[in-house]
């Protein structure tokens, strides 16, 4: 029985004129005198899609014979077909048209169908185990025959041929990636890919409420909306069969934050205690600037005291600078009688409930209050780094929108502070315009 078709892959490297070559398969049904009942052997596994260049190749090319006949494996020559015969056999009439041996290009032949000069490409005649190391990329046609014997008599031979695609493989394309927070804007994290060369990158930075937290760059930077732990996923060679994925948890550090407390008030003299915190990326705090909210000069020591001319409420500004040049500012109100801080101290427990994105930004950003359970009214204000009020608006708690758009496009680049005051608390957020 013979089956023939045209045509083969024109990219085959080991045969002559592959663009006009076809293929043919045949199987012999033995005479009843040789075997009263017989089933031909069939191969157990599909051939591999890709064979890796310069890497040892091992593949189980064994077959199964339901009659228990002895099987012998060997490399053989692929069949071409009678190129002058088209249509269904027998047309023209007569016995089945013969299959022609494929014409190999030198130095290839049936025993040497691929380029493997050192670790030869062979098949074990008993087990069907195929091995070798292929050293030139490309497409090659390879044929494997399995012959069945019963009592030493050859009953039939089953031939299978297929193209081997030899290509550079990525045994482990992702050796990892690193993440490094920006020195001063610690919510901005710089990512560096450390794997092998690949075709494409797709990053997902783990913001569950966003569809825009992605990048296709090799080494992207991303500004997270807040502190916390994010599952950052990198997919290389997306939509390819050799795609790979790696997910690593990334935790931006708590940012540099200016803060202070009041140690004591003696009359109208207030002793200030610096409570500012920093992190390893911003570096240690090396300078302090205190603006007391009156007509006095500023102080530049860590824990100053200041005598006010009269009791009352004053807006105090503390600016801290680190060894790496990072700056943070706190603007808050105090009273000298009684001695207390009465406003604008950032509350960490509520800070995580308010998201600002993007941040840094070009002056247009969104305030996300979806997790902020506002009951009463809220006053929203924006301050410059020197304490000047830039914007202010009132928001009714009964109709608080989930997202509030803020426009600072007409302001110069720099650091600003967003202040949200409710009936029971105050939350500040630092905004960076760039």
Is residue 361 situated within a structural domain? yes
In the prediction, which pLDDT does 234 show? 95
Question: Do 214 and 360 belong together in one domain?
Answer: no
Strand-pairing partners, residue 270, are 265, 306
Cβ(416)–Cβ(406) below 8 Å: no
Which pLDDT value is given to residue 398? 58
pLDDT at 132 > cutoff 90: yes
| Contact call for residues 145 and 101 (beta carbons, < 8 A) | no
pLDDT of residue 94: 45
Q: d(Cα 125, Cα 119) in Å, to the nearest integer?
A: 17
Check: pTM over 0.75? Answer yes or no: no
Q: Note whether residue 49 is domain-resident.
A: yes
> At 276, which CATH number?
2.60.40.10
Mean pLDDT computed over every residue of the chain: 83
Give the count of domains, the chain: 4
308 and 401 fall within a common domain: no
Render pLDDT for 77-99 as a digit per residue (tens, 0 to 9): 988 875 555 555 555 544 445 56
**pLDDT tens for residues 159-179?**
998 888 998 876 665 668 999
At residue 204, the pLDDT reads 96
The answer to whether residue 83 sits within a structural domain is yes
Residues 21-36: tens digit of each pLDDT: 777 777 777 777 766 6
- Per-residue model confidence as pLDDT tens digits over 362-414: 889 888 877 666 556 777 888 776 556 788 887 766 555 567 889 998 888 87
Q: Rounded CA gap, 124 and 338, in Å?
A: 94
Rounded percentage of the chain residues whose pLDDT exceeds 70: 84
348 within a domain of the structure (yes/no): no
* From 111-115, 129-133, 184-188, 326-330, the region with the lowest mean pLDDT: 184-188
Classify strands 153-167 and 51-52 as parallel, antiparallel or unpaired: parallel
Burial of residue 216, with CB atoms counted within 10 A of its CB: 0-12 exposed, 13-18 middle, 19 or more buried: exposed
More confident residue, 2 or 43: 43
37 and 84 belong to one structural domain? yes
Task: Mark whether 245 and 262 lie in a shared domain.
Answer: no
Same domain, 234 and 260: no
Alpha helix segments (H runs only) across 241-372: 348-351
Angle at 164 (CA atoms; ends 47, 88), nearest 5 degrees: 75
Is 350 domain-assigned?
no
Asked whether the beta carbons of 262 and 284 are under 8 A apart, the reply is no
CA distances from 346 to 43, 198, 418, 433 (A): 71, 45, 10, 20
Q: For residue 344, what pLDDT is reported?
A: 42
Domain-terminating residue out of 250, 281, 304: 250
On whether both 16 and 155 belong to a single domain, the answer is yes
For position 140, what pLDDT does the model report? 93
C-alpha span between 43 and 62 (Å, rounded): 6
Q: Does 84 lie in the same domain as 45?
A: yes
pLDDT of residue 24: 77
Highest mean pLDDT among 69-73, 83-87, 252-256, 418-422: 69-73
Residues 11 and 151 in one domain: yes
Residues 267 and 233 in one domain: no
Query: What is the C-alpha to C-alpha distance for residues 88 and 98, in angstroms, rounded to an integer?
Result: 13
Tell me the CATH number at 377: 2.60.40.2550
By C-alpha distance, which of 263, 426, 409, 254 is closest to 330? Answer: 426
Residue 349 confidence (pLDDT)? 42
3 pLDDT more than 80: no
Residue 321 pairs in a beta bridge with 287, 327
pLDDT tops 90 at residue 423:
no
Task: Read off the CATH number of the domain in which 100 is found.
Answer: 2.60.40.60
User: Domain boundary at 224, 250, 276, which?
Assistant: 250
For residues 290 and 269, give the distance between their C-alpha atoms in angstroms, rounded to a whole number.
Answer: 15
Asked whether residue 276 falls in the same domain as residue 245, the answer is: no
In the predicted structure, residue 207 carries a pLDDT above the cut 80:
yes
In angstroms, the CA 71 to CA 155 distance is 10
Residue 143 has pLDDT above 90, yes or no: yes
Residue pair 39/158 in contact (Cβ under 8 Å)? The answer is no
pLDDT score of 108? 92
Residue 90 and residue 55 in one domain: yes
With a cut of 60, say whether residue 180 has pLDDT above it.
yes
409 is a domain residue = yes
**Of 119 and 434, which is predicted with more confidence?**
119
Instruction: Tell me whether residue 77 is in a domain.
Output: yes
- Ranking 42-56, 144-158, 313-327 by mean pLDDT, the lowest is 42-56
**Residue 348 DSSP class:** H
Query: What digits encode the pLDDT tens for the residues 239-296?
Result: 776 788 899 999 999 888 899 988 767 667 888 999 999 998 999 999 999 999 888 8
Q: Examine the domain organization and report whether 162 and 236 are in the same domain.
A: no
Give the structural domain span for 141. 3-167
Answer whether residue 345 is part of any domain: no
Look at residues 284, 301, 336 and tell me which one is the last residue of a structural domain.
336
Strand 285-291 vs strand 269-274: parallel, antiparallel, or unpaired? Answer: unpaired
- State the pLDDT at residue 186: 82
């Amino acid at each position: 029985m013979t089956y023939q078709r045209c045509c083969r892959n024109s990219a085959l490297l080991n045969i002559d004129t592959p663009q006009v070559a076809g293929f043919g398969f045949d199987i012999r049904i033995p005479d009843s005198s040789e075997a009263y009942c017989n089933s031909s052997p069939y191969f157990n596994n599909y051939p591999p899609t890709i064979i890796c260049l310069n890497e040892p190749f091992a593949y189980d090319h064994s077959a199964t014979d339901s009659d228990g006949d002895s099987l012998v494996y060997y490399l053989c020559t692929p069949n071409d077909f009678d190129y002058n015969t088209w249509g269904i056999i027998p047309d023209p009439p007569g016995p089945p048209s013969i299959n022609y041996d494929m014409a190999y290009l030198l130095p290839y032949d049936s025993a040497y169908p691929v380029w493997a000069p050192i670790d030869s490409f062979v098949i074990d005649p008993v087990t069907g185990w195929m091995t070798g190391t292929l050293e030139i990329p490309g497409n090659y046609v390879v044929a494997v025959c399995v012959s069945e014997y019963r009592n030493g008599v050859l009953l039939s031979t089953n031939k299978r041929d297929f193209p081997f695609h030899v290509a550079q493989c990525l045994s482990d394309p992702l050796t990892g990636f690193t993440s490094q927070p920006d020195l001063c804007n610690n919510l901005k994290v710089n990512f560096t890919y450390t794997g092998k060369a690949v075709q494409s990158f797709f990053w997902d930075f783990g913001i569950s409420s966003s569809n825009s937290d992605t990048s296709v760059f090799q080494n992207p930077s991303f500004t997270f909306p807040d502190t916390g732990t994010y599952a950052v996923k990198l997919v290389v060679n997306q939509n390819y069969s050799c795609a790979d994925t790696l997910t690593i948890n990334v935790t931006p550090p708590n940012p540099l934050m200016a803060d202070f407390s009041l140690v004591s008030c003696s009359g109208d003299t207030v002793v200030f205690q610096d409570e500012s915190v920093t992190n390893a990326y911003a570096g240690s705090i090396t300078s302090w600037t205190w603006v007391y909210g009156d007509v006095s000069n500023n102080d530049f020591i860590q824990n100053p005291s200041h005598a006010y001319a009269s009791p009352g409420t004053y807006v105090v500004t503390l600016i801290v600078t680190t060894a790496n040049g990072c700056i943070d500012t706190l603007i808050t109100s105090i009273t000298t009688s009684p001695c207390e801080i009465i406003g604008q101290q950032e509350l960490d427990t509520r800070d995580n409930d308010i998201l600002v994105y993007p941040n840094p930004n070009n002056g247009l950003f969104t305030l996300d209050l979806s997790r902020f359970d506002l009951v009463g009214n809220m006053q929203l204000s924006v301050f410059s780094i020197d304490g000047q009020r830039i914007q202010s608006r009132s928001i009714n708690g009964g109709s608080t929108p989930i997202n509030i758009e803020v426009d600072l496009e007409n302001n110069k680049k720099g650091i600003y502070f967003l202040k949200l005051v409710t009936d029971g608390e105050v939350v500040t957020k630092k905004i960076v315009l760039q």
